[in-house]
Amino acid sequence: MLVHELTHALQDQHVDLDKWSDQTPPDVSQNVSEDNEHLAEDEMDTARTAVLEGQAMAVFVDYTLKPSGRSLIKDPELVERLEEQMNSTADSPVLARAPLLLSESLLFPYKEGLSFEQDVWMDKGRQAAFAGALDRPPSSSWEVMNPRMYEQNKQAPIPLMPDIHALVDARYRPYDIGQIGQLDLRILAELYGGPAAARQLTPAWDGGVYWAGQLKSEHTAAEQAGTGSIALLYLSAWKNRASARVFAAMYANELGEKYSGVKPVAQIGQADNDDQVYSTSEGPVLIRVRDKYVFVAESFDLETARKLGDLMIDAQGTGELQKASNSVPRQQLEDVSSSWIRFLGSCGVMKNALAR
């Protein structure tokens, strides 16, 4: 455990970790310029945390393997096999009880961060994997999950947020805005469709953004605490229309888990759009599929929802989305995996989060 923490101390000497690891804008954006600035920076903290923990785990695992003469570089299959061990929560009752969203979000920096560091180390060398990744960190979960894209200086696709404020500001105050990155999509797909759906849809993800507003007419704390005061729009982009339709159907099937009284109202097929409309206990839901895009509006009136759908999809244009081997003995794998689990369980932040 000391090796892991010493690595963080060395990282802090190279960059000021307090400033380096805190890039997310603190305030909710109020206009279109701020919207797109916020979206561009939304996943930076997630990606940078993966670098920090991935480097620390790489040093920790190499230190553990050193007595046997093995390493992450000499045994490149190690991380994949180690992750298979880690994906089983049998040795960690606390993780086994944790909701999927929480457990995946907490483990991502350690698991995918380690895999990212191993790939960059093997492809570009140790300097690139350590000092290089601190000097030029990834800015999205997509880069962490696809290290070759990071190595090629590719940026994650981020759908452009058009100026929606003329349509929403009269009734809603901005509540939240952000990306639905590739990690978020993987978790969402597994929650809605299971592991098979996550495996199918995650590689087909091509960007996603959301915006939420709260009714200005809700004044009291009790009124604002209810989900009925929030309206949501979500645009997801896909590499092909087939994946978009699969995601739209999966999303529609889960509406009954979010709302009561869900009833299909209309399904309108037009030249460009497939619109599905549902009534719910908290207002209408519109799900629109156009080409490789899925637009969802929840709790907006239908006229506003359709206008928002046109505006969001039309803003994307027709081009690319722009930014806003020796085997390792099983026992040794189990030893490293058990040490990893014990380490994760010893982290104060993880203890606190999983205890909730």
- From the first residue on, what is the mean pLDDT of each consecutive set of 10 residues in the chain (356 residues)? 87 92 84 95 96 94 87 82 66 68 89 95 96 98 98 97 98 96 97 95 98 91 83 98 97 95 79 84 96 98 97 83 46 47 41 32
Strands (E), the chain: 172-179, 205-215, 230-238, 263-269, 274-279, 285-290, 293-298
For residue 26, give Cα distances in angstroms to 38, 130, 230, 354. Answer: 9, 28, 20, 25
Domain boundaries, the chain: 2-32+43-155+327-355, 165-314
| pLDDT at site 347 | 42
Given this model, what pLDDT does residue 288 score? 97
> Can you give the pLDDT at residue 87?
66
What pTM did the predictor assign? Answer: 0.85
Instruction: Give 102-136 pLDDT, tens digit per residue.
Output: 889 888 999 999 999 999 999 999 999 999 999 99
Q: Which long-range contacts (CB under 8 A, 24 or more apart) does 220-226 make?
A: none
b/e code 253-275 from CB counts within 10 Å (16+ = b): eebeeebeebeeeeeeeeeebbb
- Tokens representing 196 are 């098979």
According to the model, what pLDDT value does residue 219 have? 77
